[in-house]
Amino acid sequence: MQMDRRLLKAATSGDSASMQAMASQDLSILLGTTPQGNTCLHISSIHGHEGFCVDVIALEDSLLAQTNLDGETPLVAAVRSGSVAVASALLGRYRVRRLSEAILEKDKDGCSALHHAICSGDTELALELIEAEPALSKGVNNFGDSPMYVAAARDLTSVALRLLEIGDSDHGGQFGYNALHSAVRNGNSGCCTRRSCCHCTRAA
């Protein structure tokens, strides 16, 4: 179902009152999507509207697990767009509703919310994600990079060490490298030097 233009405008601007008024007339309006497959929760997450996100989840929490055409949940979309406060708030809702599988979802490049948090240098959010779902440590993206490998490349020592504490964390990277190689070679200014970050492989 195509998203109502009024809802798109509300989600983009963070106008929760308008969204609630529309939903009170027809709750199914919240299920509409843009041509890119984004729901109103995706849109508000990308734009950093925490209040709108919280309010729309209270009305229709199925939106938490919905993915767009790039395979992004609202959580991944929020992290990728740098909406850290929104991502943290969303993560709390995923945990309350025990949506572990949704937390583990990867985008079309195989990057999880943890990959994106590490690539952005968001140490606190990365640690929060690991605490919420340790199995994120085992996810390898389509380029062969594990979160531990990228954390070492980005010099996020606290994140790499926390991942190291998880016994079955993957430590591999592309071209046969691993997190130890990455740490030893860590004179890099960032992940972009070897395309080891999902942000570097996609247009914004």
Q: At 18, which CATH number?
A: 1.25.40.20
167, with CB counted inside 10 A (0-12, 13-18, 19+), is exposed
Instruction: Confirm whether 48 is domain-assigned.
Output: yes
Q: Which residues of 66-98 are buried (b: 16+ CB within 10 A; e: fewer)?
A: bbbebebbbbbbbbbbebbebbbbbbebbeeee
pLDDT tens track for 122-174: 999 999 999 999 999 999 999 999 999 999 988 899 999 999 999 888 876 55
- Tally the residues of the chain: 204
Using alpha carbons, select from 88, 24, 74 the residue that is nearest to residue 44. 74
Instruction: Confirm whether 44 is domain-assigned.
Output: yes
Q: What is the greatest pairwise CA distance in the chain? A: 59
- The domain of 68 spans 1-105
Rounded-to-integer distance, Cα 97 and Cα 61, Å? 9
Instruction: Confirm whether 186 is domain-assigned.
Output: no
Residues 6+ apart with CB under 8 A from 90: 45, 53, 57, 64, 74, 75, 78
Please tell me the total count of domains within the chain: 1
Helix (H) or strand (E) holding 10: helix 5-13
Instruction: Confirm whether 116 is domain-assigned.
Output: no
Rg over CA atoms, the chain:
17
Look up the pTM and report it: 0.85
Instruction: Confirm whether 96 is domain-assigned.
Output: yes
User: pLDDT band for position 201 (50/70/90)?
Assistant: very low
Residues 6+ apart with CB under 8 A from 203: none
Q: Which two tokens stand for residue 106?
A: 């990867």
Rounded-to-integer distance, Cα 12 and Cα 133, Å? 29
pLDDT tens track for 36-89: 999 999 999 999 999 999 999 999 999 999 999 999 999 999 999 999 999 999
